[in-house]
Structure 1
């Protein structure tokens, strides 16, 4: 009887030791997994840390994915294109220079608009009447749910001549394609396509 009880105690102790060993092993596995997770997380955070040398001082910055700044980059690309295309001086070389720069940011649809304006004598009228043209982009609406991204741009044109100033409302729309490549002439790496002018009319004079 005593022998039987001793065997039971030994068996019970063995089960306890076995359970403790399993629990200890699981705890170690969890600790190791947590350690690996924290190590990977730290590495990822370090990879996002960027150091910039500015005026002899080392500054830290955080690198973020392009998706975070996508709307900002798209709006700046669209704004830059419109400013280059519509900010015009009454001088032929200056017009050709700024419009040429804008055409790096768009496809043949922009070139077609330029050719139409040129054939209609629009640029010659600006030069002969000594009119300078400026544009202010008021707002840009974007649809980011699908590529290429659709946009609509609302802007105000200001045509200044020696005798008067005329304001015009400009509305255009198109799509923006991501080229995945950035260049000096196209720093954002986007291309405007299927661009068209929906509205370009005089606004009432302000008194």
Structure 2
């Protein structure tokens, strides 16, 4: 081995070290880039779904994040309120148990307390014994969905009539309550629960 070769050994080691360092840096950059790409792609995919149309074609449907839920909540809140009141108050002697029990899935303790109050004051007994039909006419629903639980008021009219006569009474109806977010179920598709229900209208009058 000549002197010139011995002089080139340190230079060769330095070149090898630089080459290894460059390879390491490139590997790190590729790995980090792959992780970032996978993270972004996963977040994009998890908010999308594919549904089959009636023609058998796949259509992409984009979901919304949890932070965006409240922006789309207002229509669901109104529909939940409408479902509860129509189920609870639109009754007759044949369907009142089935409809009220279905409506109670949309409310919490205060809904059950209201049901017990109607039983205690004889209102439901009059529906059955006097062959009455009751319906609700919703005039307006006011919602404050900027805070949780959501606050709401409902204004309308409650109509009570005899199925065998034309006699009818119309009662002003006003109620206020709050709505809590809960898990969605088949019985509660909106994932809302009505609580603190306060009926502010006068007692319902029965047609003579």
Q: Does 2:106 correspond to 1:105?
A: yes
Distance in structure 2 (CA, Å) of the matches to 1:46 and 1:186? 28
Consecutive unaligned residues in structure 2, runs of 5 or more:
1-35
The match for 1:126 is 127
For the 8 Å contact 1:106–1:192, the answer to whether it is kept is: yes
Moved more, 43-52 or 100-109: 43-52
The match for 1:186 is 188
For the 8 Å contact 2:155–2:174, the answer to whether it is kept is: yes
Q: Pairwise mapping of residues 44-193 of structure 1 onto structure 2 (< 5 A)?
A: 48-55=47-54, 56-64=56-64, 65-91=68-94, 94-161=95-162, 162-179=165-182, 181-193=183-195
Consecutive unaligned residues in structure 1, runs of 5 or more:
1-35
Distance in structure 2 (CA, Å) of the matches to 1:90 and 1:59? 46
Question: Post-superposition shift, 1:142?
Answer: 1.0
Please report the RMSD computed on the Cα atoms of aligned residues, expressed in angstroms.
2.6
Question: Post-superposition shift, 1:114?
Answer: 1.1
For the 8 Å contact 2:153–2:177, the answer to whether it is kept is: yes
TM-score for the superposition, normalised by structure 2? 0.69
TM-score for the superposition, normalised by structure 1? 0.69
Distance in structure 2 (CA, Å) of the matches to 1:117 and 1:126? 11
Distance in structure 2 (CA, Å) of the matches to 1:47 and 1:111? 39
